[in-house]
Structures are given as structure tokens and as C-alpha cells.
Amino acid sequence: MESDDSLSELVYEHMLLSRYALQGAPPHSRTEALDRSSTVLLARLQAGGPMSVAELAQSFGLDISTVHRQVAAAMKGGLIERIQDPEGGVARKHQATKEGARRLADEFRARREASRRFLADWSPEDITTLATLTRRFNENVEASRGQAWPRDYDRDV
């Protein structure tokens, strides 16, 4: 285990990283930007396929009413649509619309471009190390919560 100083530095830098991640591709540099909740919802649906509000709430560790509001807002914006359960279940599922998938792809493309600018003087090995350690951290958090995030994602997103 690292020293308390290192952990304190990590916690602080993580806070800044989450702040910068939301500001990495500012809306003024493109025609449209997705809000955080729509981005996370769309990414989760893309990674895991259609889900009910209850399944989304469970996967996020949030209460159903919170996720229901987020899904409703994304539906109003034309990003998510309600469908019959592809597996024949009773609960209605949600999936990204074509517009939602396009907007998510645009969001990740803008974030990649911003990251490319921020990391321009980094070696490919350093970028790989950062990605590997960040994934390891996230997977440990997910394991402790019993809520793994699927990572069978489209690398072009």
C-alpha cells in the first residue's frame, strides 16, 4: 500500500481528472455536446444492449426514480427509445436511437481529440500505461460494488 501522501495525491488528482474529463471537449468547440447522464446512459446501453430502467438503476447503483428521470430526459431528446424486450420478457427495455448512437460517437470522438491534444507530448507507452492503470482502478471499484461495467465496446466510439 502506498503512503497516505500518495493516496491523498491520487484522490485529489482523480477529482481533477473527473472535472477535466467533462471539460475536455467543450461545447463551444463543436456543434453539440451530450450531458453527462446521457453520455453514461448511452454508453451503458451500447456496451450491454437494451436494458430496463430497473436494470440500468441496478447497474449504476442508483435509485430507480433517478434513472427514470435521466431516461425520460434522454427519450425527450430523441437519444433513447423504449422497445419490447428482445428476449420476450414483460418489462420494456431501452436502447439508443440512431441519433443517440450518432451523438455518442460524436461525443467520444470529441473527447478523443481533446485527449490527443492534452497527451501530445506523451509517449504511446505512457498513454497505454495510463489507460491500463485507469481500467484496473475502475475494475477494482466495480468489483467492490459487484457491478461490473461491460467492456465489449466499439473502439471507434
> Which residues have C-beta within 8 Å of that of residue 135, sequence separation ≥ 6?
151
For 8-33, how does the pLDDT look when each residue is reduced to its tens digit (9 = 90+)?
888 888 888 877 765 545 554 556 78
pTM of the predicted structure, to 2 decimals: 0.82
Looking at residue 2, its pLDDT comes to 56
For 91-107, how does the pLDDT look when each residue is reduced to its tens digit (9 = 90+)?
899 999 999 999 999 88
> Which residues have C-beta within 8 Å of that of residue 26, sequence separation ≥ 6?
33
Q: Could you give the angle at the alpha carbon of 148 between the alpha carbons of 6 and 46, nearest 5°? A: 115
> Which residues have C-beta within 8 Å of that of residue 62, sequence separation ≥ 6?
none
pLDDT tens series, the chain, 157 aa: 557 888 888 888 888 887 776 554 555 455 678 888 999 999 999 998 999 999 999 999 899 999 999 999 999 999 999 999 888 888 899 999 999 999 999 888 888 888 888 899 999 999 999 999 989 998 998 899 888 888 765 555 5
